[in-house]
Structure 1
Amino acid sequence: MANIKSAIKRVRINNESREKNQSMRAEMRSHIKKVDALVEKNDVESAKDALKTAVRKIDKAVQKGLIHENNGSRQKARLTKKVNSLSA
C-alpha cells in the first residue's frame, strides 16, 4: 500500500474510475446484446429503437475513451447492417 498522501489519493481515484468505466462498458455491451437478440427475433421496430440507444451508448464510450473510435464505428456499422437487413 502507498505511504505518500498523493499516492493514496491516486489509488482511490483509480479505483473509482475503474468501477465507473466497468459499469459504463457493461451497460454498452448489454445494449449491443439487446439489439442482437431483437434481430434474432426479427422484431424490426424494437430493434430500431434499441439500435438508437446502443449507438448512443457506444458514442458515449468512445467520447469517454473506454473504447477506440474505430472500434466504436465498427460496432455501430455492424449493428446498423444487421437491423437494416431485417427491413429489406
Structure 2
Amino acid sequence: MANIKSAKKRILVAETKTARNKAIKSKVKTCVKKVETAVANKDAAAAKEALSIAIAEINKAGSKGVYHKNTCARKVSRLAKAVNSIA
C-alpha cells in the first residue's frame, strides 16, 4: 500500500477512471451486440436504427479518450459494412 499522500490519491483516481471506462466500454459493447443481432436476423430497419445509436456511442467513447480514434473508425466501419451487406 502507498505511504505517500499523492500516491494514495493516484490510486483513488485510477479506480474512478477505471470504473468510468468500464461503464463506457460496456455500453459500446451492448450497442454493437444489438447491431450484430439485427444483422443476424436480417432485419434491415432495426439494424440501421441500432447502427446509428452504436456509431454515436462509439464516437462518444472516442472523444472521452476511452478508445483510440482509429479503433473507433474500425469499429464503425465493420458495423456499417455488416449492415450494408443485408440491405
Give the TM-score taking structure 1 as reference length. Answer: 0.92
- Superposed displacement of residue 68, structure 1: 1.4
In the alignment, what sits opposite 2:53? 53
- Superposed displacement of residue 14, structure 1: 0.6
Secondary structure class of the residue paired with 2:3 = coil
Aligned amino acid, residue 65 of structure 1: G
Q: In structure 2, what is the Cα distance between the partners aligned to 1:50 and 1:56?
A: 10
Q: In structure 2, what is the Cα distance between the partners aligned to 1:75 and 1:12?
A: 31
Structure 2 stretches of 5 or more lacking a match? none
In the alignment, what sits opposite 1:12? 12
Structure 1 stretches of 5 or more lacking a match? none
In the TM superposition, structure 1's runs of 4+ consecutive aligned residues that sit over 2 Å from their partners are none
Residues matched between the structures, number? 87
In the alignment, what sits opposite 1:39? 39
Give the TM-score taking structure 2 as reference length. Answer: 0.93
Could you say what the CA RMSD is over the residues aligned between the two structures, in angstroms? 1.0
In the alignment, what sits opposite 2:30? 30
